[in-house]
A = this chain, B = another copy of it.
Amino acid sequence: MRNVSSYPEAKADYLQYFLNKGKIKPFRKEFLSLHNYDQAQFYLSLSEEERKKLYHFLSPAEMADLFEEIEEENEETEQYLKEMNKQYAADMLSKMYTDNAVDILKQLEVADQQKYLALMPKEEAGELIDLLDYKQSTAGSIMTTEFAFIFAGQTIKEAMADIKRQAQEAETIYYIYVVDAERKLVGVLSLRDLILRSDDELIRDIMGERVISVHINEDQEDVAHTIRDYDLLAVPVIDEENRLVGIITVDDIIDVIDEEAASDYSGLAAVDVEERTENPFVAASKRLPWLITLLFLGMGTSTLISRYESMVSTASILAVFISLITGTAGNAGTQSLAVAVRKLADKDNEKKNNLKLIFKELATGLVSGLVTGLVIFLVVGIWQHNFILGFVIGMAMLCAITVASLAGSFIPLLMDRLGFDPAVASGPFITTLSDLTSVFIYFTIASYFLSFF
């Protein structure tokens, strides 16, 4: 029965029954007919005891198919491997696509990595060791080395025979890369092109020579943008000598885009939005470092206000508008910040002038500040029957919004320039910082008009 995106619950109950009763034959029949993703969901729902039974029911290769679908961030992976017979685990890892196997190995202690690598066939182990060396978040660290390649001098018929031979291993055969004797990348063909041509044509004559490729040290987010912009299913990865060393497929790129979005979003809220825990103590312990840091930053604002305490006791009406000014400036700063962070994430804009962005945000802040200031001038003037007070609040609003907008664009640019991720916890940082400047601006302006309140 076909169904939308997930297999029926009843089936899971059957499978669990077969598993626990040791009925291997019906279990394998049902289980292996599932999509690997659904197999993984089933696996993740099992107890340790059940999982251990499962390892006896499935071959390392079958387990590998399932493991490809377990998310990289799963914290239990190490535990799963430990449950398996060491040789079984090593076999499974060597049957997986190299990019996914490396993701798993990276989560282990170096000693454990060595242990599994030692139990693998030499060639597989060598490939994995190479991949483990690539720096986090580069093309090299997410590529797979299982790809289909052919040579320019082959006929289509010869090439097709080569591809069929490679098809079992390759992660995709829909793009086929053409290399020369030194394995340098010289062309590309899609399988679609290939099957539409006649057998005796030469690859050289029909291949595309303008290959979109990425460099092995390129950042994974840039790779994601290349695949997205050019609507590719995969992109070849080349080294310094232009040699084809791997490919990155679109499914891995979707994960990169997801991660990138979650990380920007997390930064704007000072919390890991992928937080999986159901335990409030664990959740609080992860959020508190930010809250407490920001609390101490906020103490700066409190200290500043305390220096104006005598002013407040003379004109207590001033206290009424503190949160309005800090809040509104914070909102404007957050707007600037979000736009700037998004602009920075879109590396296509790299050539563009950052000064221009800052200037634009400054001008936008000025315009927003003027309008907001005018509105609050009228509202406060009418409400409190005091247009001097209205003027003070309006002026403070104008200045505070302008400064916050400037900070909202300047700080992420500065962080980016200094090599930090501009998105990390910058949202609350900006609002807390803008509280400080806003309060300072507010009381400084107010001090000139104290006699009118």
Contacts and interface: CB of A to CB of B under 8 A. Distances in A.
Q: How often does this chain occur in the complex, in copies?
A: 2
A371 interface: yes
Given A174-B191, A254-B254, A288-B371, A35 B230 contact: yes
Given A4-B213, A210-B34, A324-B302, A288 B372 contact: yes
A73 interface: no
B319 A305 contact: yes
Contacts of A312: 312, 316, 319
B327 A432 contact: yes
A334 B427 contact: yes
Interface string A271-284: 10111001011011
A230 B257 CA distance: 16
Interface in A233-275: 233, 250-251, 253-255, 257-258, 260-262, 264-266, 268-271, 273-275
A118 interface: no
A321 to B, nearest CB: 6
Given A196-B167, A265-B342, A435-B323, A335 B270 contact: yes
Contacts of A214: 4-5
Contacts of A215: 4
Contacts of A257: 254, 257-258, 261
Interface in A308-366: 309-310, 312-313, 316-324, 326-328, 330-332, 334-335, 337-339, 341-342, 356, 360, 363-364, 366
